[in-house]
Every structure is written in structure tokens, then in C-alpha cells.
Structure 1
């Protein structure tokens, strides 16, 4: 009895001490326990997603990938797998499982090792959400208290939902939904039982059981999960045996990008970080909807790539990247070493003096990444008109003559070698080459391009950017040429010069002397001789034709007549910064350096009837719940009447963001816009009567292939064709195309005729019409069919009269020597033509012989 009393007292003392210890621990950590508000408001740190206007995913940003799911969206097999493996008594405890604790303690004491854990799912969630992974007593005590606290506040379903959304599953996947996408590229409800079990086994040790890095370990863990499911009756024997027989099928899957627009994504990322800060932008689960149209973006992307490759091909083949072996060296090994060491074209460290085996080539190619659409290949054999190549993964393909015959040697930007007659003139076995896929799954010989290109399209009525391509391959060069590259714009400046002239007394029928200019510059001690390209001069020429044919000397004369200051002031109405407009006569030829986005925005004033819209890429931002938290206000052309801010070059400030639509300021009259647009239509369609000998073509006549009379545009080429441009539009869409080298001052050069190619090829000097326009035409071929023909409305105050095409005066004739011309009422000619009357113009007889310049 004495011993029993002593044991009882000891037991009682232990209980009281334990209670005191528990209460003491509670008060010790009480202030560190999360409140109910914090527990319920668990932040998921969801990545930001960027979408097109039509809902296609462009990109996502954020270290942690999450796809939050409601409890009802969780597959029952996933719940069963987790409970069977981690906490089979989940529905029978209140945060901690005494039976589980005793069982774990028994295993540790009796067996001498820990065979199972005592942590419940609630405790695991408490640790993952609110604590560290430190193995300390105080951390474990906190974990227990938080688990009990959670059980008092949340239902079992809520706990499971939070667990499956918060737990780390490896490979930056937080939550089961993200894990399904990362490892299988599917939604959870599309996974097989074996795949579900693989995911359910990951929380125990995501790094050790990663199915991508350690497939065998993942398989063992998966089978343990399936075994537990069988033990608790969640699956039957047949289902179990079928599941464990399945291989590990996990592969890394990135986000389901359905609209490729990397330059757009980066621009949006920068804007969101600037607005919300890096942490908030990357973790709040923002859904950013851009103004991009997925069809337009795809068309623009393809147009830029095709145009760059077209330029690259007509300038010649720069040869294989390297040679892994040389066919000519497969002779005596001793002679080979001596002869090959002096050859400069063997640039690869792995160059061999015997042909490589299939396995060697395959291993080598596995270490070479694709360059956007270009894939590496090794030439293994030749016939006269075909090349046998080995691609990555051991694929053997045949490149036919039609896909290689373009490849005459590149000598320089202005010179090319003779057209090849057989494959051996181009490549030899052992060559490491680049191939570009055709639409029919065949391949075409290609090369990594040196030249760059850019393309941007927007809606001229509200400034919404519909497509934006800042370069050829974003992964290689993140410099966005649409928003960051200021390049001289050549004759793309002329519509603005001519617009200023119309505001200062000129009409489309006014005659300007198309004759050489010779102006002495006292500062430079030399003469400035701007000239046309080509250097032909037509004497007195109407303004309409001068703009359409891009006559340089006429643009200079107009600038002189209006005045540089007046012209610059007029140009600032189109959104151009005065600091970007040089205060000299070269401005009339396009010496101003501007970004493509500023050019297309300024030119949209002509497309929309005279209003300056604000280009914008982000339409709205939604939070994770789908609520719009930011809506970008739009400046809409003609939105409000009467017109506001007439001839004002300012734009409404951003403090009116609560208004979704605002009137865009009118910056030029509707009449001015209409006349310049109509003249730019002649840039494409020309004028006169070809059958009568009076026909003429504008510089953008190649755009006639679109067979649309409602389009207008302007080419642009700088000195030596360093930069080439084309901007074209109708009232619904406007786009600017640019082609040039990133290296400052490097000309695009010229090409001679390639006898291996068809008659449609471009040869001669590069220019806006030859180099930039093709991308615009390609884009519009895809876009215009969905846009109805929209003819320009004739504004109030515009009249048309019949004029003589030589003098610009009124004519009583109705034959090929006349045409109908538009005028602002009151500016039309009042005299009829008389062939006996001289045409009074500035005379300048100086002739010049220098090479072509800006036009």
C-alpha cells in the first residue's frame, strides 16, 4: 500500500507538472499563435498571369506556381491517397492523434527506430503555413497548439482544401493543382490513379521523391501510397495491381502558353512591377488582360520571322556553323592531322578526322539548344540534289534541292557569290547546320540571322496594341525594338511634313519643283545636296504625287516654305517630343530618331480622322477572385461631340482612371487627315492612266497584292538603307514594320539577281519598299479578311474638282490628262489651265551624282 500511495502521488505530481508545463508553454507562445483572421486568410502567393484580349495565356511570373482549388474540385482518389498515407484517422481527431503518438512512441522505444510519424495532416499544414522546418521542441509545441487552434476554427474540408493548396510538391509547384500541371500538363481530374498516387507521395519529401529527378524513388513512394490505399480499403486488389504496373510518366511541363508574345509579356511585367511592386505583382495572383489579339500577334510574329529569313537568304549563305569532320580528310590519319590544323573553318573543339557515329552525333546534338524555330542538324551524306541530315533524338531526314538552292555564298552585305548547281557547292558531310521547319513538316536550310526586325499594330480608334514583336528571338536578345529602339525613320516622316504644308496654304494639287537642290553650308564648308532615290527629277510636280513617290527634294522645299519651327510645332501634335526632332532641313528627309511605337501612334492620327490616341498594352487587371481592380482608361477618337481640346497636343492625365472612355484630343482637322490619308493611298495605288502613258506607281505598289482600295501607307528608308520602314493602315488597323541591323550605322546593303530563285525575288538596293513592306503585307493578308472594306468618309468642308494633272489648275477636259482632286473648300484653284501660261517655280539647275540617300 505504501508503494501504491507513492506511485499515485508520483503520477499525480506528474500530471500536475504536465498541466503546468502545458499551460506554461501556452502562455509562453500565446502571442505567436496566428489569429483566426490570419488562419482563414492564408495567402497562396499565386503567380501573375498575362493574357491576350481573347483569353489566351501569354506568360506567367512568380517563383511559386499555384492553381487554387476548392474542396469540391479535389478528386476523391487524391483525398483517399493522402489520408491513407499521412493520416488515416484524420476525421477522428482534433488536430493531434493520441493513438498515432502512442504508436510512434511504441515503435521508437520497442523497435529502436522511428518507422512512422505522429504528425497529423493538420499539424503538417500548421508547420508548412506558419512555422519553419527547424527540429526543435518549441517548434513542435507551437505546431501542436496551432493544429488544435485550426481544428477549432476550420472544418475538415477547409483544412484539406488549404493543405492541398499550400503544400509544396517540388519543382516550384505549390498545391496539388500546380503539381498536376508541372508533372503531367493536365488538370487533377484528368490524372490516372498511378499519377495521383505519385503526387500524393510527394509532400513527405518533395526533393527525394521528385519523379523528374529520381523516377525510381518516386515509383517506390508511389507504390507505398497505393499499398496504404489498398490496406484501408480505398481501392481493391485489381486496381492496386494495375496501378503499380504503370511506369512513371512525369515530365516537366511549363505553363500552358497558348499565345507566344515574349516581348509583350516582359513589357507587362515591367509595368506591373512599377505599379504594384515586385512582391505584390508576383504573388497576388493578378490576371492581366492585355489588348493583344492572339490571331494578330501570331500573324505579326510569323511575318517578322519570314521577312528576316527572306532578307537573310537573298544576301547569301554564311556557311555551316562548324564541321565535326571533313569528308576530304578521311584519308591517311597522319596526313590528316597536318592538313587540317591549318584550316580556319574547323571551329569546333570536337572536330574529328573520321566521320562520327550515329551515337556520337546524337549525343553532340543533345547539348545544342534550338534557336527559336531553328533546329540543329549534322550532314551525314550527300547526293547531287539532296542532303541527308541527322537531327536531335536520332531523327534522319532528307533536305531536297528546292529547300537549299537559295544558298549562294555570302561575301558581304553588298555582294554574293554564284548560285550553286549542286548540294556539294553548299555543304559537305560533317557540317553542323541549322534547319527551319516548313508548313508541310519538311525542313529548309537556314542560318541564325544577323539582321533584326520589329512589328507593331494597333487599333487607331483607341490605341489598343493588337500585336507587338520586338525582335526575332527574345531568349537571345531581350531588347524590345518597339519601345526601346530609336531609329531614324526616313520617309515615314513625310506625311507629317506634308500635313504641316496643307495647314499653311498648300493643296494636293500645288506644284513643287522636283529639281536638285544645292545649298552651301558655311559651318561645314560644303554643299548640302539632298537628292531623290532614284536620282530622277520630274520638274513641277503635284504635292499628291510627291508624297506618293516620296520625292526628297519636294519634302525639303515644303519644309523651307512652311519653316522649320512651324513644322516642328505641327509634328508635336502627333505626340512626338520636340527634343527628338532635329532643328534643321534634314528633318524633312527623316533624320529624326523615333521608336516604332511612337511612329505608329503618330500615324494613327491620319487613320482615325485627326485624333491623338494613347497607345496602351494593358486593358485591365483582375484579382484572383476575378474582380477588376484596375481598368486602363481609353482615349477614343471622336468619342465626344462637340470635339474637345482642338489642336491641343496634350493628353488627358491619368488621374481620371475612373472613367473607362474619354474623348481623344483632336490635333489636326478632319480635312487635313482625310487629304493626307488619300495621298498616302496613292503611295500604294499610284495614279494616272497606264494605257495613255500617264500612269505612275507609288513606292508601296507591292501592297496592291492585298487588293484593298481602303489602305494607305508610307515607306521609309534612311541613308545607305541603315533603317527601313513601312507604316500602313485603314480606319480599323494600323501597323508599322521595321528592318535593320542592331549595330548602329550598318547598311542593309544590296543583292544581285539569284538565278536559282523565281522572278518574284527582290534584288538591287534594300529599301523600305523591299525590306520592311513585305512583313506588313504578310500580316495584312492574315488580318484584313476579317475587317470589312471601310472607305474613308469625306469630311464636311471637302470638295472635289477636276484638275489638269500637269498644272494642278482647273480643267474642262475629262480625259487622261485630268483627274478629280480633293480640296478644302476655298483652297481649290480658281483658274483653268492654259498651256501657254508658264509655271512659276523656284529654279535650281544644279545636278548631282552622289549615291541614293533618304527618300
Structure 2
């Protein structure tokens, strides 16, 4: 019983313990309820806050205006004075109704822009997630996140700023649009509204512009090409960027196959067709008659870079930097025979004119005889090797900036080697030996430029050039003379050179000062001005480039009389392989001719050549056309305004340098003026040493000239203290009162044979050692007349004025106070009374 009792007792205790545990477990249930209720409350608060926030963000959402839905609003482009020069966006548009949109075109648009268009109500969370995946799978840009409905709203009503407010408003209006219009109407709006480059809107217009077809005539690859353009119209323009356009078209075809619109066979067949196969030929494209289109090209490019803007449909007011008079004159220079006599119609030129101080673009010369809208712009789009024009930017500018070279810096113009060991020399195999940096730039010597780059170092030179807007991704020593793998444009060169004329301050050239949105918001788009070099560097480059424009400089054709102007010319050359490949016979022809230069007001850069590098600029006058364009343009824009000279900054000083000294040395007081150049040094970095090349040496001592009447000679002797036994020579100058005679000898004794009786000889002796000259030592000697004692009578013709009757020296008059006649025997019977004459 006891065991049973114990067991029951134990069971009772265990049961009680179990109940206690259950009760203990029930206690936390109150906390859970509290947490749950708190979350519910927070959820309600969050919903209310979200609703409130949503209501606040959409309270000033624009109303759905049917006119804005159908027609994009063109943008106004104003010149620097606020005058309208162009309306961009309303020039070229063909409208198409939904019933006339081919199913193939619709499928292409849906595949790339919004495959679930008919399944959502304006917003598509599934599309948003799918776009993220597609961008990882197919590459960035393969599929966007916005629905077609959202794109219609964005392009019709809202500013392009990427903010939460705009996205919320876009979503709200997209929902409203779906409630008010059918899917077919919305798709019709989209297809007619999108920008397709070439100043054109709508896919029907694109079909005409690129293929000269209506939409229902397009092939599958053509339909895919125009359907893919709206994401980045200018980049996917098949005229300008066929490679990018083809890649984009193939993405559209892939998406069409993925979404079941076409078969794999159709996709592969369409992808095999080159995107250029059926494009409108260049000669058939629409001609461009607008005088400001080259400049508007720059405006369009800049607006696109400023953000998510569509200049062709956003109704922007764009304030630009254009000087319309300068632009019209550039057009006259390029497209008429009034200024330049061009060799043929195919000869091309690109011109960029900017304000030196602000970087504002004043005019753009996009090319000659441009026949299409938004054609290739040779001032902006061209990428050609700059040749010697790059030397101030890549070689000599960095040498002054980093090595504190002065304009006098002596560089040995001689054959050299690249760091690779390859030999390099001047194109004509002619060399001048040690010359100053100024002379090297003035004559555009190549070996000196390479040596400057080598001493600066490639990386520092590259950094210097990049800060001036030259987009170098790599650099080699051959770049010192402009042999770039990827070239530069005239606009980039103008920007770089303007910094030299603006005391080392650089502003990236720009055409757009500010953009005014439809809602009144004004965006200041002017880039920031920044220091990129010391003012000493800028000034010394400028002063040397002024020398380029005067004889014997390479830029004399571009000089404008009376205008303080600096510049650098450049040409490129064909390699031996190029000449062989393209059957070029002459080594005097070039593919490119450049000039870039500036005043304190304007900077201009001009490139000339042909669209194909295979066609050379002929030797002679044609290679000077770039300089003639530059000269005429700078002369035109500088008339009737004051152009100040470039100020000398406090950071530089003038120095007298002995020509050819290497390393550079100050001229001494003995250096001949003909051997002295006056140049500029960075203050605190002028040469410290003074040349001793022309210092005076000891003059000869104890000069004596002794006449020996017996031998009838004069012997000249002197002493000379010659320290170090240096090789000395002596310059002897003898003057007898009639004409000096000079000779250089090595001995210290001279004999003058048969001196003239009665003459006085003055003698100067100058010592010369290693081109150094001493002060002169001088002496003199009188040569006596011979004496005669006899008297006699004669019938000669001689006369004398002596103390006696006549002269005693045969044939030579002597003084006397009587007059008489004498014969060769020395006696006379004159009018005076006898007496011996005194010689």
C-alpha cells in the first residue's frame, strides 16, 4: 500500500507540477497579443500615412489634356541674346491611326517596351521585376521598367526629373489614362509620340526617314530596328551608328521570339540582314537648309546629357551661347566661294569657335555642303589625329608645369630614340642642334617634342591633357607629335587651347546655358570653371605660340595684323604601309591639317581634310586652307571690339639667356648681343649660373714696334701670360692711316716688310682663346723719310715749301718756306733762296 500510495502521491505531485507549467506557459500570451495589436495599429497608421503621402504627392498632378497626349511640344532654342533661332520637335511627323499600324510593328513595340501591355492597368509590378532580370540576362537597356502607358504620361505631361514625386504622379496619371482611354488609343499615342532622331517623331515618320516606306511596307528587321530606337534615338540612329543600331535591333528580335511573336527561324533570318542593307542612300536623304543646325546639333547632344529630357517633345525653352552673326559667317566661309577657294566639293572642314574666358560656344562649322539634317558634324563628331597641334597640350605645357622649364629651355634637336629603342628623327632628316623651346615650337620640331614628353613622363602628361578636356585613355611616346590611336575633335581642341588664353582656367565648351521646363523650373547647365595649370604655364605657352604666328613660324598664314594672337598648326602623315595600301605616291601629301589658336576674347580650332583618310590633302595651298579659315574667322569676330594683349603674371620674370647654352645659362656682360635671347622664366626657377663663354681673357702685355732702317722692316713683339697653356691666337690689326689690315696668327712676333716712308702705323693686338677675346693692346711706330745731302740744279717738276730752295728726298715733297722746282737729282733753282729742307 505504501508503494502504491507513494506512486499516487508522486503522480499527484507530477500532475500539479504539470499544471503549474501549463499556467506558466500561458502567461506570455498577453505579450503576443500586445505585439499583434501594436502591429495592427502601426499598419493602420502606415496605411493612413501612405494614403496621406500619396494624396500630397498627387495633389498638383497635371490634368489629362487630350492635346498634349496627341502632339509632342517642340522646344524653343534661343541665342545668347534671347532671340529664337530654332524650334526643335515640330518639323517632321507623320501621324498613323491604330487601324493602320501593322501587327508586326505593334508586336515589335510590345516585345521591347511592354509585353504585358494588354494585361495590366497602367502599372505592371511583374514587368518591373522582369526588367531587372532581363537587364542582367540580356545586358543593360534590353528592357525598361516603365509601361507604355507610363511612357506616354512622362512624355506628355511631366518633367524628366527622376524623383519620387514624379514617379508617383506618373503612376497615378497612368492609372487615370487607362480608365479614360482604350489600350489601342494609348498604343496609338505612343507610336506617334516617340522621338526617332533626325528631328523626327513617330514610327511612321521613322519608316519614311530611314527606309522611304510606309509602316505596312516594312520588313521584320526594319520594323524591329525602328521599334528599338525610342530608348536612345540618336545612339541607335542607323545612319550615324549602324553598329549600335544593329545590336539594338537584334535585342528586339530576340525579345519578339521569346514572347512568341516570331519563330526562331524568322529571328535568325532577320538578324542576318545588315542594318544598312535597305537604308535610304545618302544622296536621297532630305537636304538641310537651316543655318543654325550645326550648332543645334551641339545643343541636342548637351540637353540629352543633362538628364531624362526629350528636347523634341518636352516643350523646353533652351537658352544657348550662340552668336548668330559668327555662325552665319562660318556658314559663308564653309559653303561659298566668297572667302576660300576649295579644291573640290568633297573637301571637308570642322570649325569650333568659343569664348576664351567662359568656354561658351559661339559658332559651330559642322562641315561643307551638308545635305542632311543631323548629319555628321565635323566640329563635334570627328575624331582625327591632331598632329603637331597637340604639342603645347601634351609636351611643352606639362614641361613648364611640372619641370619649371622657361621659354629659353635648351633642347638638342638631334636624332633620338624612343624608350623602346626605336630610332626617331625629324621628317626631313634635318637638325639644328641645341635650340630653345620657343624655337622648337615656332618651327614645330618633332625630336624636341618627344624629348620634352620623355622628361615629363607619360602619366603626368596624360593627366595634364585630360584636365584640358582631351580624353586620353592611354598614352605612348608617339603621342608627343599627335599620333593618337583615337583622335580628337575641333571642339575638344578649342576647349584645351582656351585654358592657355584664360590664365590656366578651363571650362568645358558648352552650348546650353540654362533649360527652362514647362512648369517654369529653370536648370542652370553651365559647367564649372576650374584651374588646370599655373598662370605661369599658361602665359609662357601663350607667349611662345605668339611666335608661331610670325616668321619663320609655321602659322604665318593665319596671322591677323594688329591682333595679339597665339596659335599652333599641325599636320598628320601617312605611314609607308598606308601609302602602299592606298596607292599614295607623294610623301608631301597629308590626311589632316589643323590649327588651334586664340586671343583674349575668342578661341578657334579648325580641322580640314576628307571624310575618308584614304583621300589626301595635296601639297601646297590646300594644306594652308585651315589657316585661312582661322584667319578670316578671327578677323571677322574681332573687328570693332577691343582685344587686349595677354597680361604678364607676377609668377614669371624676364631673363637674358646666352643662346645655345646647355643647360641654359644667364648671359654675361661680355656675351655679344647677337648671342643673347630675352625670354621668360618661372619666378624663382631662373638659371643661377652665368655663362663664361664670352668672358674677357688677359690682354697681351708690353707691345713694341721697332723700325730697323737698315733692313727697312718693323718688328712687332709682345708678351702674353697664358694660364694653363691654352691654345691662344692673336688678332693683329695694322692701320697706316689709309686702310686697316687684320690677320690672326699663333706666334708672338710679327715683321712688317717695306713700310711706307713717312707713314705712321697704329697696331692693335687682341688675344683669342676658345672664342673668348681680350681687351686690345696697342702700339704705334713712325717710319722716317730717307735723308739726301747734295744740292744741285734741275728741271724737275717737284715743288717744296721748306726753309731752303727745294726738297732733298727724291720725288717726295718736303716742307719749306720757299718754292722751287727740282729734278731727280735733288737740286732746285726755285723762287726762294737756298737752304737745306727739313723733312
Q: TM-score, normalised by structure 1?
A: 0.45
